[in-house]
Amino acid sequence: MKIALAVSQLGMGGAETSALRLAQHLTRNGHDVTICAMNEGSLWAELERCELKGHLFPHSALNSVVQISKSLANFWNQQKFDLVILRLANRISYQAAHMLEDQIGVLAILRNPRPEVHSFIAKHRMAWNVAIGVGPLVQQVGQHHNPGKTVLHVPNGVEIPSRSDLADRIPWSQPLRLVYLGRLFDGTKGIFRLPHILAACHQRQLPVQLTVIGDGPDRERLLHSFKDLNVADSVTMLGFQELGTIPAHLRQHHVLVLPSRSEGLPNVLLEAQANGCVPVATLLPGSTDVAINAPITGRLVENGEIGKFVDEIEAMLDRAAWNQASQAGVERSHRLFSMETMGAGYEAVIQDLHAGKYPLSRPFNQSHSLKDVPFGWRDYWPRPRLRSRLGKLARTLGWS
């Protein structure tokens, strides 16, 4: 099957890395997969190493959203893809999906439980055939927002390390090696909690060190916060790391700290456990409590409870407790969250879609009118030109 996997860009984040892994799995299963992106992102170079095809869609700041969406739809139609997988809630990709020929199936991936994300996807329900929620809560919210549509659940999957790789993972020792891995963005990730967690560990005189892996818009503020709380000497900022090195980094740390405010089904939790790194994460019902079987494979903490994070980190200073959790996490991830398990779930949905189980007739194909695509009036204007014309109108009316 010829498949287009649409992303905004391939940056450092769970959504992007899972998109790469899904593309790898589908390719290994004989599908012809092309990752389509508007911008490269830091992981774009990984495509060649992973032997995957990529297509960067050309666009200009002078193009309107309508123009870009129409061009993207034309590309997908002309290339005669059998299936388009919408991996992120990207406005242009979803609008383009309305203008696809009816024989091209569209699979929407729901990754986040936030209502505003699901409201956006529901707005485009006439463009996609079937949806997959990566976690039970995501699936439930998606189904609530899309009555009459099919929203299924297929959990994320991660690459399973070999026995020799696991044999090389760091044994329990002191200082306890903590790691945060992910995008450096406080909004959903809660990364500004990390300095306070580390400072509280120091106040209790716990022997811990923290490594931060990743990059993002809040990197400098995070670094300043470590300095302001006098814990910078216990922090190593590694920045962006190539995708292939992440499992080895996890195997060189004892505890993954994830203080997020919102998640779908975090890949990093699954990958950490698969590699023997015990997670201590925010309790997010339907998300982190699915990824972690607390307290057996990791620990969960009420949202924002800094002291509780420290309590659970301190518990991992017990050698037996850490060893038990580390091994239990490895076994559970291998059993439930392998790429093979995820791939089998996707394959079943894709084959059902191809067999006509989720038929869809897009209104645009009957009317050929853009009124059947949910564009706003701003979408018809190139952004610089729109700002210029609105500014001229404001000056004419004496508003500025």
DSSP line for 325-392 = HHHHHHHHHHHHSBHHHHHHHHHHHHHHHHTTSS----THHHH--GGGS---GGGGS-HHHHHHHHHH
pLDDT digits (tens, 9 = 90+) for 274-331: 999 999 999 999 889 999 999 999 999 999 999 999 999 999 999 999 999 999 999 9
Where in the chain are the domains? 2-157+340-389, 163-337
How open is the CA angle 234-236-242, to the nearest 5 degrees?
160
Per-residue pLDDT, 248: 96
Coil, strand or helix: which one is 308?
helix
- Topology (CATH level 3) of domain 163-337: Rossmann fold (3.40.50)
pLDDT digits (tens, 9 = 90+) for 83-116: 999 987 688 999 999 999 999 999 999 988 888 8
Q: Is the pLDDT of residue 400 over 50?
A: no
Per-residue pLDDT, 393: 54
Segment 374-399 shows an average pLDDT of 67
The CATH architecture to which 2-157+340-389 belongs is 3-Layer(aba) Sandwich (3.40)
